[in-house]
A and B are shown apart, each in its own frame.
Chain A
């Protein structure tokens, strides 16, 4: 009898500090498996965000840099331009990317930087204690919206993937989910494609992963999955929002 599963070699042996059930851990594993499969461990560079994943450099056994809040895509731009052979990915949460880092992600996409961005959307600020994020759903309770997000006061959530898909220079935009084994396998395919695009020099690739945050939602991991499937997926439908990489590849 042989083990058919193993810890990817692009992860260190460090125990994740994430809360029980957190989607970050799953996406870390998927990303590390992709790095292993594409054999890019020696030239991969992770740009860690500010947020729960700030210690990503402790877990990914690759070169790393931790940027100021929201500036991941700008740092990734610099690394990629200075060292074009490196495979650079910015790993960010929704508080980091969709709020203070909105300018950086939009302009990195608009410039069509040949980088990969992995965006974890759990509709709330995690590390700082459950404040309302730009992605928080209408009616969802947060510590800064104790009666739930009010459309008249705080407006509607931002669908980052749909927004970035409008930009001509963005090449590959997909939203996936980490709620079930089939969706996690699909998420891995999307992440792999986003890295392969960078290796092939095709341009800006962006994968948004819906994730649960049971601690800050005030629920259990299993009930969190129900919230993700019923409420989050209604606001954030899964799918490919843009993929012009096939056409670019043929033109090469």
Chain B
């Protein structure tokens, strides 16, 4: 199954990816990252379709898409 990986050190918690995801697979973590933001994370397994929309909107290139 396709998936994304979020680089928590780069994510600034802007939430743009949560709206860009056509399947609403992405949610914000409820714990701080080392940089002091709530980073994005994949909410559920087998949800991601690997479309790469989140990568396109991510300002900090924190998301890597695997397919």
Contact = CB atoms under 8 A, between A and B. Distances in A.
Q: Do A and B bind each other?
A: yes
Interface of A: 1-7, 11, 15-16, 18-26, 29, 180-181, 184-185, 214, 220-222, 225
Contacts of A7: 61
| The 7 A-B residue pairs with the shortest CB-CB distance in the complex, in nearest-first order | A25-B59, A21-B14, A20-B14, A20-B12, A181-B56, A181-B53, A221-B14
A221 B15 contact: yes
30 contacts: A1-B66, A2-B66, A3-B64, A4-B50, A4-B52, A4-B67, A5-B55, A5-B63, A5-B65, A11-B61, A15-B10, A15-B60, A16-B60, A20-B13, A20-B37, A20-B59, A21-B12, A21-B14, A21-B15, A21-B59, A23-B59, A25-B59, A26-B57, A180-B57, A181-B20, A184-B57, A185-B56, A221-B16, A222-B16, A225-B16
A3 B66 contact: yes
Contacts of A15: 9-10, 60
A223 to B, nearest CB: 10
B19 interface: yes
Contact of B64 (A6, A24, A180, A184): A6
A4 B9 CA distance: 20
Interface in B1-22: 2-3, 9-10, 12-16, 19-20
Nearest to B9: A15
Contacts of A221: 14-16
Interface of B: 2-3, 9-10, 12-16, 19-20, 37, 50, 52-53, 55-61, 63-67
A29 B59 CA distance: 8
A171 to B, nearest CB: 28
Contacts of A16: 59-60
Nearest to A19: B12
Contacts of B57: 26, 180-181, 184
Contacts of B61: 7, 11, 25, 29
Contacts of A24: 59
A11 B10 CA distance: 14
A22 B13 CA distance: 12
A23 B59 CA distance: 7
Contacts of B64: 3, 5-6
A80 B10 CA distance: 35
A6 B10 CA distance: 14
Contacts of B20: 180-181
Contacts of B3: 1
Contact of A184 (B9, B13, B19, B56): B56
